[in-house]
C-alpha cells in the first residue's frame, strides 16, 4: 500500500512537471474545458437558485388557496364562502385575502398591493418592498402618492421597507391596511380576492381539496405542493432545454479532447518511448496519463464552478437571465441567495468530466502501447 501511494506520488510529480513544460499546448484545452464547465455550472446554479427562491416563497404561503371562478376566470370571493368552508372538517385556519396589481406609470412597472389586518398596519401607512423603495427613492417616514384606477389621489406614509431576505418575495410588494385597500381599489365590502387556508393534517390536503370542490363547485382549490411541482418541472424543463442546446458544445468539447489526446507531439511520443525503455510499464504510462487527465479536469472543474458561482451570485447571471428567469420585470438589482447542492455538482461532473475522460481513454491507451524499442531503433 505504501509503495502504491509512493508510486502514485511519483506519477503525479512527473505529470505536473510535464504539464508545466507544455503550458502553451494545454492552456487552450484547459480554457475550453473551463468555459464548458462555467457555462453549464452557471446554468445549473442559476436554475437551482431560482428553484430554491421559489421554494422559499412557497414555504411561507398557505397550503391551500381557494379561488372562485366565473366563466373560467378568476373572480372575487363572495362573503358567505368563508363561513361555508369553515364547516369542512380538518380545516385548521382560514383567512380571506385581499390583493391586486397596480400599474405605476413612473416606473412602468406593476406593483403587488396586499392588504394586511389593520392591527399590523395603521390606515394611511404602507410598507414597501426593497426593490421598489430603491427605485422610487423611498425610505421610512417619506410619503408617496398613488393615483387609483378611479382617478383619485391617495397619499401614504412609508412605515418600513421589507427585509431583503428573499428579494423575489418582496421586491414589488406594497403592504397596506384593509380599509385603505378597499378604498383604493373600490373593492366591494365583504368580498375577497381569494381564501388562504391551512390544514391540520398534511396527509389530508387532497381529501379536503376534493370536499371543497364538491361543496363549492365554482371554486378552484390550489395546493401548495402542486405549485411547487409546477415550478420544479418548469425549471427542470428549461434547464433541460438549454442543456440540449448545449449538447453540441459538450460533443464538440469531447471531440477536441480526443483530438488533443491523440495528437501527441513528436516530443511527447519520444518521452513515452524513453520512459518505456527505461522500465516504465504500459499500465504506468496509462496511469500517468490518467492522472494528467484528472488534474486537468479538477483544475477546469474547480475554476469553472468558481467562476460560475461569482457570475451567478455576484453578477446576477447576466448571460442566462433572459432565457431562464422569465417572470415579472421589476428586478433591477435582483440578487439570488447563494445555494449549491451535491446533486448539481455530480450532474455537472457527468456532463463535463465524464465525457472528457471517456474521450481521452482510447488515445491514452494508444499512446501508452508504443513500442519500447523505438528509442533504440531511431
Q: Which residues bind other proteins (CB under 8 A)?
A: 2-7, 9-11, 13-14, 17-18, 21, 44, 206, 225, 228-229, 232-233, 236-237, 239-241, 243, 267, 270-271, 273-284, 286, 290, 342-343, 346-347, 349-351, 354, 357-358, 361-362, 364-365, 368-369, 371-373, 375-378
Could you please report the per-residue DSSP string of 1-70? Answer: -HHHHHHHHHHHHHHHHHHHHTHHHHHHHHHHHHHHHHHHHHHHHHHHHHHHHHHHHHHTS-SEEEEEEE
The residue among 354, 342, 343, 335 whose CA lies nearest residue 46 is: 335
Helix axes of 282-314 and 23-59: crossing angle, nearest 10 degrees: 50
Count other C-beta atoms under 10 Å from residue 239's C-beta.
Answer: 21
Q: Which one, 37 or 158, has the nearer CB to other proteins?
A: 37
In angstroms, give the least distance from the CB of 93 to other proteins.
23
Q: Which one, 23 or 87, has the nearer CB to other proteins?
A: 23
In angstroms, give the least distance from the CB of 371 to other proteins.
7
The residue among 30, 66, 47 whose CA lies nearest residue 312 is: 47
Q: Is 248 helix (H, G, I), strand (E, B) or coil?
A: helix
**How far does Cα 257 stand from its chain's mean position?**
29
Q: Which one, 9 or 93, has the nearer CB to other proteins?
A: 9
Instruction: Please check whether residue 287 is in contact with residue 361, taking contact to mean a CB–CB distance below 8 angstroms.
Output: no
In angstroms, give the least distance from the CB of 62 to other proteins.
18
Q: Which one, 17 or 106, has the nearer CB to other proteins?
A: 17
In angstroms, give the least distance from the CB of 375 to other proteins.
5
Q: Which one, 122 or 302, has the nearer CB to other proteins?
A: 302
In angstroms, give the least distance from the CB of 13 to other proteins.
8
Amino acid at each position: 500500500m505504501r509503495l502504491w501511494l509512493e508510486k502514485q506520488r511519483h506519477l503525479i510529480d512527473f505529470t505536473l512537471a510535464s504539464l508545466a513544460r507544455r503550458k502553451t499546448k494545454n492552456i487552450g484545452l484547459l480554457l475550453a474545458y473551463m468555459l464548458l464547465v462555467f457555462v453549464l455550472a452557471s446554468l445549473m446554479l442559476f436554475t437551482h437558485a431560482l428553484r430554491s427562491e421559489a421554494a422559499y416563497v412557497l414555504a411561507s404561503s398557505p397550503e391551500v388557496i381557494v379561488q372562485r371562478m366565473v366563466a373560467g376566470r378568476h373572480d372575487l370571493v363572495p362573503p358567505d364562502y368563508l363561513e361555508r368552508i369553515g364547516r369542512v372538517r380538518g380545516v385548521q385556519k382560514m383567512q380571506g385575502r385581499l390583493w391586486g396589481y397596480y400599474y405605476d406609470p413612473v416606473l412602468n412597472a406593476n406593483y403587488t398591493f396586499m392588504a394586511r389586518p389593520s392591527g399590523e398596519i395603521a390606515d394611511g401607512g404602507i410598507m414597501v418592498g426593497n426593490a421598489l423603495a430603491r427605485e422610487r427613492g423611498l425610505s421610512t417616514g417619506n410619503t408617496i402618492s398613488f393615483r387609483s384606477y378611479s382617478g383619485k389621489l391617495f397619499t401614504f406614509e412609508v412605515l418600513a421597507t421589507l427585509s431583503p431576505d428573499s428579494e423575489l418575495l418582496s421586491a414589488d410588494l406594497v403592504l397596506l391596511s384593509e380599509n385603505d385597500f378597499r378604498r383604493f381599489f373600490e373593492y366591494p365590502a365583504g368580498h375577497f380576492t381569494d381564501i388562504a387556508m391551512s390544514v391540520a393534517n398534511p396527509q389530508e390536503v387532497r381529501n379536503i381539496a376534493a370536499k371543497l370542490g364538491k361543496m363549492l363547485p365554482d371554486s378552484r382549490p390550489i395546493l401548495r405542493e402542486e405549485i411547487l411541482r409546477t415550478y420544479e418541472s418548469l425549471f427542470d424543463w428549461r434547464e433541460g432545454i438549454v442543456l440540449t442546446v448545449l449538447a453540441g458544445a459538450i460533443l464538440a468539447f469531447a471531440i477536441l479532447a480526443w483530438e488533443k489526446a491523440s495528437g501527441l507531439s513528436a516530443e511527447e511520443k519520444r518521452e513515452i518511448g524513453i520512459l518505456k525503455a527505461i522500465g516504465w510499464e504500459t499500465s504506468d504510462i496509462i496511469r500517468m496519463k490518467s492522472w494528467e487527465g484528472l488534474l486537468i479536469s479538477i483544475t477546469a472543474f474547480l475554476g469553472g464552478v468558481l467562476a460560475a458561482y461569482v457570475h451567478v451570485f455576484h453578477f446576477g447571471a447576466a448571460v442566462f437571465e433572459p432565457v431562464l428567469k422569465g417572470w415579472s420585470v421589476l428586478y433591477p438589482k435582483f440578487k439570488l441567495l447563494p445555494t449549491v447542492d451535491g446533486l448539481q455538482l455530480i450532474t455537472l461532473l457527468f456532463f463535463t468530466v465524464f465525457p472528457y475522460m471517456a474521450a481521452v481513454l482510447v488515445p491514452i491507451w494508444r499512446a501508452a502501447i508504443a513500442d519500447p524499442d523505438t528509442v533504440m531503433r531511431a
